[in-house]
Chain A
Amino acid sequence: MRKILLTSAVFGLACAGFLGYQAVKAQDQELSPEEEIRLVQEFNRMIAEGINPGEIWAEIGKEAFKKYNLDKCDFGLGPGKVEGALAQLPRYFPDAKRVMDLETRIGWCLQQYAGMTPEQVKKFVQQCWGKSQCMGEYDAIVMYVSMASNGQKFNVNLKDPQVKRMYEIGKQIYYARLGPWDFNCATCHAGQKEVRIRATRLWSADRPGEAGQAVSIFPKYLVRWAQPMTMHYRYSECMRQMRWPGFEPHSDLAVALSTFLYGTANGTEIKVPGIGR
């Protein structure tokens, strides 16, 4: 897959006419890690200027949004209004009597307006988990709703006591050591020292602004899977890697983590979709 990615990077560079010489040179010889990281960052920068393949999902999502009667769904700004919805979530919803983030709210609306049972919703959410090149409607709906808030800044109301309570719970989950390997989120995503998994530099909660940069690009398109990854899928993958017990999408655990992350990210501009390896 590294070869394919590098080929795409080389390909993009050559087409655009930038750095053609380095690109050809890179193909011929074995790369040092620093050189590889630089090439990947160059590739990410160039694709950020162009069209993100995640926009394909936004077009599918626009149709699926109407198909599942989600134009009746209230994201906190009125029924069917999606512009700026992501910026003010998670929040407390009196009709559901709980704090909800974007994906939990979509799941609740699917039960209310599309006539799905909780089991069907779970199956609908997980239809693309563990696959590649899958064009799921759930990912598409999340992508469509998130992209409508592009350019706005996160503004989670942490003065609301219900949201504040969830924020504190999320903070405890973030620093709770669990599972057979005694991992917590902060094992990788905290501290001043730079942590890497292969060539990917991980964000840290202790370095200012990095939590915002990390969550403001979700759902993001992953080149290695050729499909987007939503926030709850990201939690699930992280918890699988930490050997935590099985993750339930749209659970209160996920909402608490979302409240902590989006609350920390307050003031960051939303740039959906992002891109990753």
Chain B
Amino acid sequence: MATGTAILRVPKEAQKGQVVRVQMVITHPMTPPRRDPQTGQETPGYFLTKLQLFHNDQLVSEMNMAAGISANPFIALPLKADSSGVIKIAYEDNRGGKWERTAEITVK
């Protein structure tokens, strides 16, 4: 899979008021910026910088990331389910890549 695709997993059904875990794995190399000690050659970093979680187009949480996070990061965010609808994650990296991923949840 290409860089930037993700597996997003949410429980299909939830009780009203229940706190569910929104789990995701984002495919990304997350290389830190590095200077080779022998040749002096500098490699620029390539990593995710921002992740936003939306519930029905309303911003729930926002997360800032940097080069210290492992490649293909697994992230789990808590979300209080109040109404049925669409859960969306939007994330971007330091080279201008922007991606989105959606999943649906039904609240009883």
Give B61's nearest chain A residue, CB to CB: A15
Q: Which of B1, B68, B71, B75 gathers most chain A CB within 10 Å?
A: B71
* Cβ–Cβ contact A55 & B77, under 8 A: no
Residues of B within 8 A of A3 (CB): 68
Docked complex Cα distance between A3 and B32 (Å): 13
Give B75's nearest chain A residue, CB to CB: A15
B74 within 8 A of A: yes
* Cβ–Cβ contact B76 & A8, under 8 A: no
Chain A facing B: main interface SS: helix
Give A47's nearest chain B residue, CB to CB: B74
* Cβ–Cβ contact A59 & B1, under 8 A: yes
A60 within 8 A of B: yes
* Cβ–Cβ contact B70 & A226, under 8 A: yes
Give A224's nearest chain B residue, CB to CB: B70
Docked complex Cα distance between A8 and B66 (Å): 12
* Cβ–Cβ contact A15 & B7, under 8 A: no
* Cβ–Cβ contact B68 & A4, under 8 A: yes
Residues of A within 8 A of B25 (CB): 51-53, 55-56
* Cβ–Cβ contact B69 & A4, under 8 A: yes
* Cβ–Cβ contact B77 & A15, under 8 A: yes
CB within 8 Å of B: which of A1-35?
3-5, 7-8, 11-12, 15-17
Residues of A within 8 A of B27 (CB): 56
Residues of B within 8 A of A11 (CB): 69, 73, 75
Q: A7-B68, A56-B1 known; A51 and B9 CB under 8 Å?
A: yes
* Cβ–Cβ contact B72 & A226, under 8 A: yes
Give B19's nearest chain A residue, CB to CB: A17
Q: A15-B77, A55-B7, A59-B1 known; A50 and B23 CB under 8 Å?
A: yes
Q: Smallest distance from the beta carbon of B86 to chain A beta carbons, Å?
A: 20
Query: Which B residues are within 8 Å of any A CB, using their own CB?
Result: 1, 5, 7, 9, 21, 23-25, 27, 29, 68-78
Shortest Cβ-Cβ A-B pairs, 3 listed: A226-B71, A53-B72, A8-B70
